[in-house]
Each structure stands twice: as structure tokens, then as C-alpha cells.
Amino acid sequence: MKLRIAMFLTILVITGCSADDNIVSTDSVETFAGKVPESCDIAEVISEFDAQVPGSKFVPTDWQPFPGTDLDAALTNQGIACTYGIQVAEVGGTILWASNSSNVWEERKQSWIDAGETPIDLPDIQESAAYILQDGTSADEMHVWRINLLINGVWIQVGASFLQNLDEALPIIKAAITATVK
């Protein structure tokens, strides 16, 4: 009997001291912490790209990031970078997902502001912060369209030249967010 009580107390102490990596506590409020997807083969993201650019697929890419870029920051912070679209037509976009555990968001934010990104509150999304860059005038293609958002401890960047406005991008952004909770 004493052995059972000792084992029970040991298990109780061990489980009581363990950390739950999925919970973030801020000012006594607990929220779900997202996770960076493990691969780029994400059906919902591919489907949303395909809705915008029919025939879109995940495009495997051998990334060789230049130091100091968003791509480098994402890949060195437990992140992944995924391109979706039609490779032969060079039409598509790229999504970066990275953990914000090393505060990469704050490290990169000033570079986005310097590049002309402006703060935005995304409709129906509970992001911590978001910045948007829209540059271009063509009726068919923006020269640059990018959004950076921080949600549940994950930095997500969605960039695509075929997007014309936020309404077109929202389904892709929402699919990218959903990929962090699976």
C-alpha cells in the first residue's frame, strides 16, 4: 500500500511539474499556442490557392535564404516556407510559418515598416498584430502583395503577386492560420 501511495505521489509530482507547450499565459489569460506545420502538403492551403489560380499545387523549393531576410528568419526560427501555384507559369505565392518563441516578430517588424507595410486589423481574425504591403497598379497583377501576421505565437507571412486585395487573400490567410492548429 505504501508503495502505491509513493508511486501515486511521484506521478502526481512529475505530471504537476511538466509543461504544456500548447498553452500561452499572458496576464492570467490562457490561449492556445499554434504550431508551425510540419510539411507544406496542406490540403486546405492548396485548395484555397487553387480557388484563386486554378491548377495550383505545392511547388517543392530548395530554399537558399540570404542572411537577414524574412525567409532566413523564418527558417532559422523553427519555420517552413512553402510555395503554391503553377510552377511552369510562374504564378503563385509563398507562405512562411515560423515560431515566435525567439521573438522574431519584433526583430523583423521594423524592416516591414521600412519597406512600406502598414498595420492592419484583419476582419474576423484574432491576430496579435498584422502588417500589409500592397504595391502595384496592374489590373491583373500586383507587383507586391504581402501580409505578415502574428497569431497564437506563430508568425505567418503570405505573399503573392496575383492577389489584388485583402478580400481575395483572406481565404488563403485563414487556411494558413488553420494549418497552425492541426
The model's pTM is 0.79
Domains annotated on the chain, with CATH: 22-178 (3.40.1000)
Q: Which of 115, 105, 106 is nearest to 79 (CA)?
A: 105
SS3 content of the chain, % helix, strand, coil (to 5): 30, 30, 40
**Cell triple for residue 92?**
503563385
Task: Judge whether 157 and 82 are in contact, CB under 8 Å.
Answer: no
pLDDT per residue rounded down to tens, the chain (182 residues): 333 333 333 333 332 333 334 333 333 233 357 899 999 999 999 999 999 999 999 999 999 999 999 999 999 999 999 999 998 778 899 999 999 989 999 999 999 999 999 999 999 999 999 999 977 555 554 456 899 999 999 999 999 988 888 999 999 999 999 999 86
